[in-house]
């Protein structure tokens, strides 16, 4: 499996508090992504990064910000968490430097976030 970890794996927080989720990779892949998964919606892209300090919005970016100061880390921040952001969050990576299928995405184990 690709070396990709997420932390924390589970988190319960209260409405209005800031939350930061971390994605860490050891594969030196160029692209990193944050998705959320909710029942009946499949996976929806929140933000993605195509390099250090290069990020862009996805389908459901409102209420989220991201940062990528190093190749290996991609942070997702909820500035003021709301109950509608209760979800499972997946990080993914793609675009290895050593060839292969560049657009194959490798997913992390997920973070289950509950906002009360």
Q: Nearest-5° angle of CA 90, CA 29, CA 31? A: 60
Output the smallest distance, CB 15 to another protein, in A.
Answer: 25
Q: How far apart are CA 114 and CA 116, in angstroms?
A: 6
Indicate whether 102 belongs to the interface with another protein (CB under 8 A).
Answer: yes
Q: Which residue in the block uniquely carries the two structure tokens 């390099």?
A: 51
Query: How far is the C-alpha of 86 from the C-alpha of 38, rounded, in Å?
Result: 9
* Cβ nearer to another protein, comparing 10 with 16: 10
- Within 13 Å, how many C-alpha atoms sit on residue 54's CB side? 7
Q: Between the CA atoms of 8, 44, 104 and 107, what dihedral angle is there, to the nearest 10 degrees?
A: 20
From the CB of residue 31, how many other CB atoms can be counted at a distance below 10 Å? 18
Choose which of 34, 72, 94, 113 interacts with another protein (CB under 8 A).
94
Shortest distance, position 69 Cβ to another protein, whole Å:
18
Find the part of the chain contacting another protein (CB under 8 A) among 10-18, 40-48, 61-69, 73-81. Answer: 40-48
109 binds another protein (CB under 8 A): yes
Using the rule CB under 8 A, which residue among 10, 26, 50, 83 binds another protein?
Answer: 50
Binding site for another protein (CB under 8 A): 31, 33, 35, 40-45, 48-50, 56, 58-59, 90, 92, 94-95, 101-110
């Amino acid at each position: 499996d690709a070396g990709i970890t997420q932390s924390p794996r589970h988190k319960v927080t209260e409405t209005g508090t800031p939350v930061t989720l971390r994605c860490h990779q050891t594969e030196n892949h160029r692209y990193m992504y944050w998705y959320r998964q909710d029942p009946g919606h499949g996976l929806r892209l929140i933000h993605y990064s195509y390099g250090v300090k290069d990020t862009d919005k996805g389908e459901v970016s409102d209420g989220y910000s991201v940062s990528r100061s190093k190749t290996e880390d991609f942070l997702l921040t909820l500035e003021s968490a709301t109950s509608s952001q209760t979800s499972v969050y997946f990080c993914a990576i793609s675009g290895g430097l050593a060839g292969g299928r560049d657009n194959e995405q490798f997913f992390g184990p997920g973070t289950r976030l509950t906002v009360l």
